[in-house]
């Protein structure tokens, strides 16, 4: 019964992000407004944070007399689709806990190949910090969440060195891009097709068309690409940036750890990505919780997504 409750909690706070994004987009197409929960002091929609038309965010500010921590929701969609959104139950849980929420979108692969989506996501974090005083936010407490591609972007932000450029003419780019923690769903810890080929031998997971489009390469020719492409694979793979000073992470997967890979979709969302990351984070002494079909890998007490967020954001 306890495990069943955990699975329900993981679903409620977790891997429905792609659905939430689609629902949010459908609501806009139907002329509906982004929801305004009772615990939101203010809601702002389609706030522009960059030059591209997809550089926009929705903002829900929690009611508080003091600066609030922030959860940034990054949508999935294989870097080829999706729009900003956040699962309603998680949104309400955050606002009730005094955590503000921001949902962002970014350039897709058809707009610009990697690392565009990664740099857009970093700028979104920097933009939030630039507006922290005006929005009553605590710039030192920002976490990220998302599913699939949104999970990978969240992990990349959490592990990458700070992208702040103190000498930039753009005040946004002077801000830090660092995070306090990540709670992600069905995410990839590496986007290097060579690593994925080794992780799932005998499958075609590494040739997923989303990866081909992300890099604009023919993955049938994986061993014959340019050095520049291999460097790009390494740059946008979250696990390559992990160091001992990085924040904790919770990774949740819909499939069990022994799930057979009968399609590219199962492979690219397989919990082995989480295990690969956990092994490295464990070695560095960084908290990393990985759940596969509701079971915590390695054992230990289970944690719900909202409780994990409260802990990493210092919310009582």
The model carries a pTM of 0.91
Distance, CA of 165 to chain centre = 23
| Residue-level length of the chain | 316
Cα separation of 127 and 34, whole Å?
A: 21
Domain 2-190+234-313 fold is: Rossmann fold (3.40.50)
Can you give the pLDDT of all 316 residues of the chain as single tens digits?
A: 333 344 444 433 333 333 333 433 333 333 334 778 888 999 999 999 999 999 999 999 999 999 999 999 999 999 999 999 999 999 999 999 999 999 999 999 999 999 999 999 999 999 999 999 999 999 999 999 999 999 999 999 999 999 999 999 999 999 999 999 999 999 999 999 999 999 999 999 999 999 999 999 999 999 999 999 999 999 999 999 999 999 999 999 999 999 999 999 999 999 999 999 999 999 999 999 999 999 999 999 999 999 999 999 999 8
Q: Under the phi-then-psi rule, with left for phi > 0, alpha for psi from -120 to 50, and beta for the rest, what region is 146?
A: left
Taking 3-state DSSP, the helix, strand and coil percentages for the chain, each rounded to the nearest 5, stand at 40, 20, 40
Cα separation of 1 and 151, whole Å?
A: 28
**Domain-by-domain residue ranges, the chain?**
2-190+234-313
| Dihedral over Cα of 11, 14, 19, 23: its sign | positive
Q: What is the pLDDT of residue 37?
A: 87
Cα separation of 28 and 38, whole Å?
A: 20
Cα separation of 123 and 291, whole Å?
A: 30
Q: What is the pLDDT of residue 25?
A: 39
Asked if the peptide bond before residue 115 counts as cis, ω within 30 degrees of 0, the response is yes
Q: Are 145 and 131 in contact (CB under 8 A)?
A: no
């Amino acid at each position: 019964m306890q495990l069943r409750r955990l699975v329900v909690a993981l679903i409620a706070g977790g891997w429905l992000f792609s659905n939430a994004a689609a629902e949010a987009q459908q609501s806009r197409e139907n002329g509906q407004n982004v929801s305004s929960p009772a615990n939101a002091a203010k809601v702002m929609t389609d706030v522009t944070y960059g030059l591209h038309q997809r550089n926009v965010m929705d903002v829900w500010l929690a009611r508080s007399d003091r600066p609030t921590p922030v959860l940034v929701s990054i949508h999935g969609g294989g870097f080829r689709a999706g729009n900003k959104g956040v699962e309603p139950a998680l949104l309400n849980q955050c606002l009730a806990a005094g955590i503000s929420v921001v949902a962002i979108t970014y350039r897709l692969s058809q707009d610009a190949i990697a690392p565009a989506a990664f740099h857009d996501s970093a700028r979104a974090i920097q933009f939030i910090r630039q507006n922290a005083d005006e929005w009553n936010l605590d710039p030192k407490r920002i976490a990220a969440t998302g599913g699939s591609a949104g999970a990978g972007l969240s992990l990349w932000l959490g592990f990458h060195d700070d992208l702040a450029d103190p000498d930039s003419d753009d005040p946004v780019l002077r801000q830090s891009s660092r995070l306090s923690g990540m709670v992600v769903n069905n995410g990839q810890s590496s986007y290097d097709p060579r690593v994925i080929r080794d992780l799932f031998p005998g499958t075609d997971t590494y040739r997923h068309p989303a990866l081909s489009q992300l890099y604009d390469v023919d993955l049938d020719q994986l061993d014959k690409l340019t050095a520049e492409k291999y460097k790009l694979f390494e740059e946008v793979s979250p696990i390559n940036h992990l160091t001992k000073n990085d924040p904790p992470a919770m990774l949740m997967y819909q499939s069990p750890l022994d799930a057979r890979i009968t399609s590219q979709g199962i492979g690219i969302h397989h919990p082995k990505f989480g295990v690969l990351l956990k092994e490295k984070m464990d070695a560095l002494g960084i908290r990393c919780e990985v759940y596969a079909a509701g079971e915590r890998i390695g054992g230990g007490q289970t944690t719900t997504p909202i409780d994990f967020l409260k802990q990493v954001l210092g919310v009582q």
